[in-house]
C-alpha cells in the first residue's frame, strides 16, 4: 500500500502540467490574435504583440 501512495505522490507534479499542455504556445496565441485584429501584415506589430504576450506571462 505504501508503494501505491508513493506512486501517487510522484505523479502529482505531472498533474500541474496537464492544463498548460492543453493550451497553444504563447507565440501561436499571439499570432492568432494579431491576425484576428487584421494586423497580420506588419512584422513589427507581430513582434510587439509577441513581446506583450511574454510580458504578461513572464512579468519581471
Residue 35, pLDDT score: 73
Predicted model pTM: 0.32
Range of the domain at 60: 24-60
| CA–CA separation, 31 and 46 (whole Å) | 7
Q: Kindly state whether residue 16 falls inside one of the protein's structural domains.
A: no
Whether residue 43 contacts residue 37, with contact meaning beta carbons closer than 8 Å, is answered with no
Q: What is the secondary structure of 3-47 as a DSSP string?
A: HHHHHHHHHHHHHHTHHHHTSPPHHHHHHHHHHHTT-TT-HHHHH
Whether residue 51 is contained in a domain is answered as yes
Res 1 pLDDT > 50: no
In a domain, 4, yes or no: no
Distance between CA atoms of 35 and 4, rounded to whole angstroms? 49
Which grid cell is 44?
Answer: 513589427
Answer whether residue 32 is part of any domain: yes
How many domains in the chain? 1
- Tens digits of per-residue pLDDT, 15-59? 555 555 566 677 777 777 777 776 556 667 777 888 888 888 887
Domain assignment of residue 53, yes or no: yes
Amino acid at each position: 500500500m505504501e508503494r501505491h501512495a508513493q506512486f501517487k505522490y510522484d505523479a502529482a507534479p505531472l498533474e500541474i502540467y496537464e492544463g498548460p499542455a492543453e493550451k497553444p504556445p504563447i507565440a501561436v496565441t499571439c499570432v492568432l490574435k494579431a491576425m484576428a485584429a487584421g494586423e497580420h501584415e506588419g512584422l513589427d506589430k507581430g513582434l510587439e504583440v509577441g513581446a506583450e504576450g511574454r510580458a504578461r506571462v513572464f512579468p519581471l
